[in-house]
């Protein structure tokens, strides 16, 4: 079980991120890798499409970073990893919450030559939630290097304030544009930290931390899984909408249904009941 120490909490709150070299087992890494090609071909073992499917084989340019959002709804192998209780407990501990639920996952595949993802703050995309704010666990399925287009963090940028959504997320001409504009507006020097970890390593980051990734200039793919958590008690904002995720709000009810935003962990011991069945190897 992953244990977050007081020193790590202090580091997270100072830097806006925390990097750990070991998190997933070799078996988890191998099983997740095996699902990437089928997923991006549209082979969904639950029979359900993901909420976002940003790259499809034969449809989109090969030099784009491939992304699926909420792959957990489409694939049980992905679900077993991104819905881990440890992730919820770690995100809640780092954020100072009493519990955490998943708002969204990402299945990310950056093959050799794939173009950047623009620097952004996750919280720019979280205004449809109260209390607003993501805490995120990013998990490497391949050994990562700066040359391989790994995730990069701007140290301390979660303390700069809130900034708007970026102009272009996928394959921007200048992937650091928004970061540099934010730094100029706050009179702050940028300190970039590329996350270089073995496969199975991870990083947690705050929703206000600027992050992005450059072109993969190696001959190896860079695959990762991401869990974006919100506080367990989070509710839908009364007026701010997500054009995708607000579809799960019931009329006249601002609660977040655990069928779509399951609770991963709480101090009181609550965890959404169906998760054990969904993530069991016997459910396949």
CATH of the domain at 242: 2.60.120.620
Q: Is residue 128 part of a domain?
A: no
**Residue 17 pLDDT > 80:** yes
Give the number of other CB atoms < 10 A from CB of residue 36: 21
pLDDT of residue 284: 46
Angle at 201 between CA 196 and CA 207, to 5 degrees: 80
**Number of helical (H) and strand (E) elements in the chain, helices listed first:** 7, 14
Tens of pLDDT, residues 45-68:
999 999 999 998 888 999 999 999
- Give CA–CA dist 209/76, Å, rounded: 30
Q: Is residue 180 part of a domain?
A: no
Residue 225 lies in domain: 6-112+133-143+198-207+219-283
Q: Is residue 153 part of a domain?
A: no
Tens of pLDDT, residues 165-180:
999 999 999 999 999 9
Tell me the whole-structure pTM to 2 decimals. Answer: 0.97
Give the number of other CB atoms < 10 A from CB of residue 270: 13
Q: Is residue 165 part of a domain?
A: no
Question: Structural domain tally of the chain?
Answer: 1
DSSP SS3 for 101: strand
List Cβ neighbours of 85 (8 Å cut-off, separation of 6 or more): 264, 265, 271
List Cβ neighbours of 187 (8 Å cut-off, separation of 6 or more): none
How far the first Cα of the chain sits from its last, in Å, is 25
Q: Is residue 125 part of a domain?
A: no
Tens of pLDDT, residues 115-138:
999 999 999 999 999 999 999 999
| Mean pLDDT across 251-267 | 98
pLDDT band at 281 (very low <50, low <70, confident <90, very high): low
Q: Is residue 185 part of a domain?
A: no
**DSSP per position, 172-235:** -SSTTHHHHHHHHHHT----EEE----TT-EEEEETT--EEE----SSS-EEEEEEEEEETT-E
Q: Is residue 174 part of a domain?
A: no
Q: Is residue 193 part of a domain?
A: no
């Amino acid at each position: 079980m992953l244990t977050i120490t007081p020193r790590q909490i202090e580091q997270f709150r100072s830097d806006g991120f925390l990097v750990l070299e070991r998190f997933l087992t070799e078996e988890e890494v191998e099983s997740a890798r095996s699902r990437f090609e089928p997923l991006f071909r549209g082979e969904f073992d639950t029979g359900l499409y993901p909420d976002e499917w940003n790259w499809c084989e034969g449809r989109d340019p090969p030099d784009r970073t491939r992304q699926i959002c909420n792959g957990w709804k489409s694939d049980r192998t992905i679900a077993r990893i991104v819905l881990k209780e440890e992730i919820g407990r770690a995100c809640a501990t780092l954020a100072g919450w009493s519990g955490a639920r998943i708002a969204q996952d990402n299945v990310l595949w950056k093959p050799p030559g794939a173009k950047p993802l623009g620097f952004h703050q996750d919280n720019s995309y979280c205004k449809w939630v109260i209390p607003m704010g993501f805490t995120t666990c990013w998990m490497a399925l391949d050994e990562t290097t700066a040359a391989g287009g790994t995730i990069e963090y701007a140290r301390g940028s979660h303390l700069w304030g809130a900034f708007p959504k970026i102009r272009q997320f996928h394959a921007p001409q200048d992937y650091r544009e928004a970061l540099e504009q934010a730094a100029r507006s706050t009179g702050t020097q940028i300190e970039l930290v590329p996350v270089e970890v073995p496969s199975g390593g991870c990083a947690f980051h705050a929703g206000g931390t600027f992050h992005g990734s450059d072109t993969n200039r190696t001959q190896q793919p860079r695959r990762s899984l991401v869990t974006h958590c919100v506080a367990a008690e989070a509710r839908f904002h009364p007026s701010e909408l997500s054009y995708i995720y607000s579809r799960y709000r019931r009329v006249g009810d601002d609660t977040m249904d655990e069928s779509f935003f399951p609770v991963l962990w709480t101090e009181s011991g609550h965890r959404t009941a169906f998760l054990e069945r969904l993530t069991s190897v016997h459910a396949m």
